[in-house]
Chain A
Amino acid sequence: MAKSAKQINPKDNVATLLADCASGEEVTVNMDGKVSNYACLEDTSYGHKIALVEIAKGEPIVKYGETIGSATKDIKVGEWVHIHNVRDDYLCLDKYGKPLPGQSL
Chain B
Amino acid sequence: MEFYGYPRPDGKVGTRNYVALVPSTGCVNNLCSDLEHLVRGTKALRHDQGCLHPPRDTETVTQTLINLGLNPNVGGALVVALGCEMVKAEEIYEGIKASGKPVEMVVMHEIGGMINTMSTAMHMLVDLVSSVSHARREKADISKLVMGTKCGSSDTSSGLSANLVTGEVCRMLTEQGGRFIQGEICDIMGGEYALKKLAVNPEEGEKIVDYVRDLYMRGLAMGADTRGCQMTAGNVAGGLTTLVEKALGANAKGGQVPIQGALGYGQLVPDAPGRYIMDFPGHGFENLTASAAGGATVHLFTTGRGADTGHPIMPTVKICGNAKTNKTMAEHIDVDVSAVIDETETPDQAGERVLEYMLGIASGRLTKCEILGTESMEILIRGPVI
Contacts and interface: CB of A to CB of B under 8 A. Distances in A.
B272 interface: no
Given A49-B239, A92-B227, A100-B213, A64 B248 contact: yes
Contact of B244 (A30, A45, A68, A94): A68
Contacts of B217: 100
User: Which interface residue of B194, B217, B248 has the most chain A CB atoms within 10 A?
Assistant: B248
The dominant DSSP class at the A interface is: loop
Contacts of A86: 241-242
A92 B229 CA distance: 14
B383 interface: no
Given A16-B156, A16-B160, A18-B341, A61 B241 contact: yes
Contacts of B190: 90
A103 B225 contact: yes
A90 B238 CA distance: 20
B241 A82 contact: yes
Interface string A6-48: 1010000000111000000000001000000000000001111
B216 A100 contact: yes
B345 to A, nearest CB: 13
Interface string B337-350: 00001010000000
Contact of A92 (B160, B216, B245, B249): B216
Interface string A63-79: 11011110000000000
B28 interface: no
A83 B248 contact: no
A100 B248 contact: no
Interface string B212-248: 1100110010000101000000001011011111001
A87 B343 CA distance: 31
Contacts, number: 80
B216 A69 contact: no
B156 A47 contact: yes
Contact of B242 (A6, A68, A92): A68
B252 interface: yes
A82 B341 contact: no
B189 interface: yes
A63 to B, nearest CB: 6
A63 B248 contact: yes
Interface string B158-174: 00100010000000000
Given A64-B252, A68-B248, A92 B189 contact: yes
A47 B241 contact: no
Contacts of A82: 236, 239, 241
Contacts of B220: 100-102
A69 B245 contact: yes
User: Which interface residue of B156, B236, B244, B245 has the most chain A CB atoms within 10 A?
Assistant: B245
B244 A49 contact: no
Contacts of B243: 88, 90
B343 A4 contact: yes
A45 B239 contact: yes
Interface in B238-284: 238-239, 241-245, 248-249, 252
Given A100-B216, A102-B220, A66 B244 contact: yes
Nearest to B238: A47
A48 B216 contact: no
Nearest to A30: B343
Contacts of A46: 156, 239
A92 B189 CA distance: 8
A51 interface: no
5 contacts: A48-B239, A69-B245, A89-B242, A90-B243, A93-B213
